[in-house]
Amino acid sequence: MKVTVISGGVGGARFTRGLLALLAERLPDGGGGTTATVTVVANTGDDLWLHGVRVCPDLDTVMYTLGGAVHEDQGWGRRAESSRVSTDLASYDLGWEWFTLGDLDLATHLARTQLLREGRPLSQVTAHLCRRWEPGVTLVPMTDQEVETHVVVDDGPTGERLLHFEEWWVRHRAALPARRFVQVGLEDAVPAPGVLEALRDADVVILPPSNPVVSIGTVLAIPGVREAVVATRAPVVGVSPVIGGAAVRGMADACLRAIGVETSAEAVARHLGLRARGGILDAWLVDTVDATAATALARDGWSTRAVPTLMTDVPTTARIAAAALELVGL
Ligand code: GDP
Ligand code: CA
């Protein structure tokens, strides 16, 4: 069985960890893993150059989470981490003092930057880093080109200002009203090697509960990706990142507001759309508290169901993954 997941950071990583646990149970390989092939196509729109190194937040969150190295409470970064280098750098008034790079995490960025400087594309660099962490999936960036999400915000009564997504998200906690998002570099971007193939050859494509705007939306914006999702023979199933009208963790509601979509499980589903009607989804899993959304969507031809979708631990998340697969008959 071939499974392809389109992922952001924390939401996508946690879901995929549960999915792998489920697959290891159903299709065991005898060594604790699974015979299923899982490809994770990750958002790289949050990437940035900082202190001379290339930082790829979502790729690293997936890699650390599946590799057993993630800081569990935080959901990103390395466990048992320190920040001596970042603290020391701040003494020079350089960089972004509000964007901490952990000391161990910095080693990943240094390694990545060295390999990029040697001329290797990000997809190959990611594969190299994954040799150490053995995430149990093929982790692929959405593109090898630098495509960075920027946020257009108000600047005085007349103007507007562009800031990097991470500055808006981390420094301003998404509190500056966003007018729109811009993917700088998108025109020259093509899907990374393996992305279109993973979508075309999949037995199922899953949209985990990732940010529908700046994670899933950014991956879909890479020329050819949305078309590949629309065209795949595989069923496409999504899990709602919105529970009871709220983004569970983080400020995804601010992103939805910027693109004029209500923060509700039903509105996000309709925004992504039913494949039979020009969208990208065949099925949508919502939380128990959104049972009315499931009813409304079902009336309009969606395959949908309401189950508990809070990813509290791995077994619970495995059950969410099972419910998602069940929606498309797997
Ligand atoms: P990021 O790149 O680290 O922001 O992570 P993602 O884009 O992968 O996912 C973030 C989104 O996941 C959040 O905005 C939430 O809406 C959603 N999310 C986080 N935890 C949960 C959970 O336990 N259950 C569900 N259904 N959604 C969640
Ligand atoms: Ca992210």
| CB of 45 closer than 6 angstroms to any ligand 1 atom | no
**Beta carbon of 254 within 6 Å of any ligand 1 atom:** no
CA distances to 35, 75, 273 from 164, in Å: 40, 22, 28
- Assess whether the C-beta atom of 243 lies below 6 angstroms from ligand 1: yes
Handedness of CA 71, 74, 76, 78 (dihedral sign): negative
Residue closest to 102 by CA, chosen among 70, 133, 73: 70
pLDDT recorded at residue 215? 98
- Residue 95's pLDDT is 79
Asked if residues 303 and 216 have their Cβ atoms less than 8 Å apart, the reply is: no
CA dist 60 → 101, 156, 192, 246 (Å) = 12, 36, 17, 26
The DSSP secondary-structure symbol of 177 reads P
Cα 170 to Cα 149: distance, rounded to the nearest angstrom: 14
Indicate whether residue 11 lines ligand 1 (CB < 6 A). yes
CB 267 within 8 A of CB 290: no
Q: What letter does residue 192 receive in the DSSP assignment?
A: P
Token digits for 284? 């949508």
- Show me where the domains of the chain are located: 1-145+190-252+262-330, 148-188
Q: What is the full per-residue pLDDT of the chain (330 aa) written as tens digits?
A: 999 999 999 999 999 999 999 999 999 999 999 999 999 999 999 999 999 999 999 999 999 999 999 999 999 999 999 999 999 998 998 878 889 899 999 999 999 999 999 999 999 999 999 999 999 999 999 999 999 999 999 988 889 999 999 999 999 999 999 999 999 999 999 999 999 999 999 999 999 999 999 999 999 999 999 999 999 999 999 999 999 999 998 899 999 999 999 999 999 999 999 999 999 999 999 999 999 999 999 999 999 999 999 999 999 999 999 999 999 999
Residue 30 Cα to ligand 2 midpoint, Å, equals 34
Evaluate: CB of 217 within 6 angstroms of ligand 1.
no
Which of 206, 211, 264, 289 best tests ligand 1's pocket when mutated (most atoms within 8 Å of CB)? Answer: 211
Rounded-to-integer distance, Cα 241 and Cα 251, Å? 11
Burial class, 31, CB count within 10 angstroms (exposed 0-12 / middle 13-18 / buried 19+): exposed
DSSP state of 280: S
CB 77 less than 6 A from any atom of ligand 1: no
Q: Whose CA is nearest to atom 4 of ligand 1?
A: 9
- pLDDT for 156 equals 86
Q: Is the pTM of this model over 0.95?
A: yes
Distance of alpha carbon 330 from alpha carbon 326, whole angstroms = 5
Phi-psi region of 77 (alpha: psi -120 to 50; beta: other; left: phi over 0): left
Closest ligand relative to 75 C-alpha: 1
Report the pLDDT value the prediction gives residue 158, as an integer from 0 to 100.
85
Find the ligand nearest to 210 CA: 1
Q: Are strands 37-42 and 2-7 parallel, antiparallel or unpaired?
A: parallel
Tell me 288's DSSP state: G
Is there a contact between 219 and 40 (Cβ–Cβ < 8 Å)?
A: no
CATH number of 1-145+190-252+262-330: 3.40.50
Please tell me the number of the ligand nearest to residue 240's CA.
Answer: 1
Phi, psi of 306 (to 5 degrees): -110, 120
Interacting residues of 159 by C-beta distance below 8 A, sequence separation 6+: none
